[in-house]
């Protein structure tokens, strides 16, 4: 990975997951795994977030919340689907209330499999997301540059 230009902030939301991946996401921010070493801070505010870590298979009630959070985040942004439920629906796929995967509602950039996803895998996913974020930012900068000239 190339060097980071900015400290990306992270937003976490539980879109009908079992909690397993959520506590693993939180565990990532604590001393043993410590994603804060990449300059990442876990924020609760979508308006300040660059990375959306989202878990669970999305049910009809939280669909609107997920969309709203995604829209509230400023561009450029990346979405990381954490856990197999967030990727495809996982064991909850057959449930009557589950839409099956975050990508049925919002675009997803990185998929982190696992039930529950291990912290190492989540960190790997976040680091991949950082690269994508940097690319997207580059894209925006070029786009903005053309606008000025």
Partner 1 sequence: MAKRSIVPFGPQHPVLPEPVHLDLVLEDEVVVEAVPSIGFVHRGLEKLVETKDFKEYVYIAERVCGICSFGHGLGYCQTVEKIMNVEVPPRARYLRTIWMEMSRVHSHLLWLGLLADAMGFESLFMESWKLREKILDMFDATTGGRVIFSVNCIGGVLKDMDDAMLKAITDTCAEMEKELKPIARAFLRDLTVGSRLHGLGVLSAEQANLMGAVGPMLRASGVAYDTRLLGYAAYDELELEPVTAAEGDSFARCEVRIKEIGQSFDLIRQAAAKIPAGPIAVPVKGFPQGEYFTRIEQPRGEAIYYVKANGTKFIDRFRLRTPTTSNIPPMLDMLKGCQLADVPLLILTIDPCISCTER
Query: x/- binding map, residues 42-61, to partner 1, per CB under 8 A?
Result: -xxxx---------xx-x-x
Query: x/- binding map, residues 72-111, to partner 1, per CB under 8 A?
Result: -------------------xx-xxxxx-------------
The minimum distance between CB 31 and partner 1, in angstroms, equals 5
With binding defined as CB under 8 A, does residue 41 bind partner 1?
no
Interatomic CA distance for residues 135 and 55, integer angstroms: 24
Neighbour-count burial of 68, counting CB atoms closer than 10 A to its CB (0-12 exposed, 13-18 middle, 19+ buried): exposed
3-state helix, strand, coil in the chain (%, to 5): 45, 15, 40
- DSSP strand pairing (51-55 vs 41-43): unpaired
Binding site for partner 1 (CB under 8 A): 12-24, 26-27, 30-32, 43-46, 56-57, 59, 61-62, 65, 69, 91-92, 94-98, 115-116, 118-119
């Amino acid at each position: 990975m190339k060097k980071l230009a900015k400290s990306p902030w992270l937003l976490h939301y539980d879109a009908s997951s079992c909690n397993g991946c959520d506590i693993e996401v939180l565990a990532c921010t604590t001393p043993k795994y410590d994603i804060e070493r990449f300059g990442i801070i876990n924020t609760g505010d979508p308006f300040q977030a660059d990375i959306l870590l989202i878990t669970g298979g999305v049910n009809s009630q939280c669909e609107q919340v997920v969309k709203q959070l995604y829209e509230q985040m400023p561009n450029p942004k990346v979405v990381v689907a954490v856990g197999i439920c967030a990727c495809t629906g996982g064991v909850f796929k057959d449930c009557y209330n589950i839409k099956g995967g975050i990508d049925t509602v919002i675009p997803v950039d990185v998929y982190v499999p696992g039930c529950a996803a291990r912290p190492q895998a989540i960190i790997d996913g976040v680091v991949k997301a950082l690269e994508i974020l940097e690319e997207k930012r580059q894209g925006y900068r070029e786009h903005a540059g053309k606008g000025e000239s």
